[in-house]
Structure 1
């Protein structure tokens, strides 16, 4: 599946081997989420999800920011209402609003997501970064919850993702104070998995994602699903879900045979998902 450069106005999408790279591209607004950006991201994520050759996704931002959250200076439902979307925008009454559907979109993406955090990730942008499975950051990466400064409680999944990444007390500290976390502290508490040079951030993120895509793709997707599901499960339920995952992961007979052959022959396997 080819991604055409002219398909999008607020983002760019390309594939490097088995890794898709989605770049939010509103640098003049620090990639704040406008209605058009949101709609194009949804379309791009759906395209990557449907592309069997894309086995992982790198998510980053153009310019100085990763994503500054909702565009509060724009027009339409992103700026004027986080809960209900008017029918004229093609939406429907929905108690979760666009911010809920945004979080569910990332959580429902069944391939690994590597965040390449190039600058500020604030508000819904911080939620988006935390929805990634792992995060690499440049020295300019920084996080800020910001919701309480707007007289809001967290949305877009921040209250779900953040304590799962850093624990309850650290999440409370970050949300209740709305303080800025620079790259080094973010690395120390787990918001970032590693810091890499700014000039090689995306290349390093792609190389890191490529380490994942070398393995059987169905097993990789089921590994993500099992990990997501069992984060909140009791042990017995987790073990049962692992059994389900094992069965589904092995429904690629050619990859199962290739994995055994690669092990016996002490070589790197070549996997097709079949």
Structure 2
């Protein structure tokens, strides 16, 4: 079977049953409908290819994924509802995924980082659900995935304050599973994926279905609610101020309206 190409991704399959999916929008890898669709297509391909038993998800540049670019022009295809439909497909992936997080995983980018089964991070990694600092509601299924990984209280802390966790803090709260020097990050993620790939593939998929089989449905329900709240808050003065303050690199002056 030939190996396809996907827009904005570097994709390869090794002879060790490990595929590498690399986001190629440096330096910050902002996502949109097209990128999430490409990721979903790549993972779907992996699910149907016997050469793949585990996937490494990584990214080029400074950031792992800095989320959506709120200052970018929007068209019909990039509407959040369309994007979230593609996002739900990511959670339907049947193949185990290990993420290598080298930099910022912010906002919706945190949502991308929480889709994989495991996260290997460097000390320079940064994790933040900064939506409240933008006057906005969380998205990308974070209402389900974040508390599912770190627990309700840590999730509320991150969502209410928008504070950033570095790699060491992320390891302490369970947001990442292993912390390694930046120069070893890709190799460690690949080694972890290879450990998985050496297990019986039918058994791994069966176990994964038992443990995570209902996650896509939960994310679908969560994104439906998140989208409604985002639509409501998008028209507020606070949201406009949050986006403007972020672009101007200053503290926002929220008015509660």
Q: Aligned pair 1:129/2:127, yes or no? A: no
Where in structure 2 are the equivalents of 1:48-127 lying within 5 Å? 48-77=46-75, 81-83=79-81, 97-102=82-87, 104-127=88-111
| Misfit runs of 4+, over 6 Å | none
Contact 2:32 2:83 in 1 (8 A): no
From 25, 29, 32, the equivalent of 1:31 is: 29
Partner of 2:233: none
Q: Quick one: distance in 2 between partners of 1:211 and 1:78?
A: 42
Q: Deviations over 1:133-179 (max 9, x none)?
A: 11100121110112222222111111100101111011000000000
CA separation in 1, counterparts of 2:210 and 2:112? 21
Q: Which residue of 2 aligns with 1:148?
A: 132
Q: Pick 1 or 2: higher relative contact order, CA cutoff 8 A, min separation 6.
A: 2
- 2: CA distance, partners of 1:39 / 1:99: 10
RMSD (Å), alpha carbons:
2.0
Distance in structure 2 (CA, Å) of the matches to 1:55 and 1:37? 23
Partner of 2:21: 22
Distance 2:138 2:196 in 1: 32
Paired residues, number: 214
CA 34–230 in structure 1, closer or farther in 2 if over 3 Å, else same? closer
Is contact 1:33-1:78 (8 Å) kept? no
SS at match of 1:65: coil
Higher radius of gyration, 1 or 2: 1
Asked whether the equivalents of residues 46 and 95 of structure 2 are also in contact (C-alpha less than 8 Å), the reply is no
> Where do 5+ consecutive residues of structure 1 fail to align?
84-96, 232-274
Deviations 1:38-85 (A, max 9, x none): 2322221222122121011111110111101113233334896323xx
Does the 8 Å contact 1:100/1:155 carry over to 2? no
- 1:1-274 to structure 2, matched below 5 A, reads 1-4=1-4, 7-16=5-14, 17-28=16-27, 30-77=28-75, 81-83=79-81, 97-102=82-87, 104-229=88-213
User: Secondary structure in 2 aligned to 1:64?
Assistant: coil
Whether contact under 8 Å (2:33, 2:78) holds in the other structure is no
TM-score by length of 1: 0.73
2:77, 2:121 → 1: CA distance? 28
1:204 Cα offset (Å): 1.2
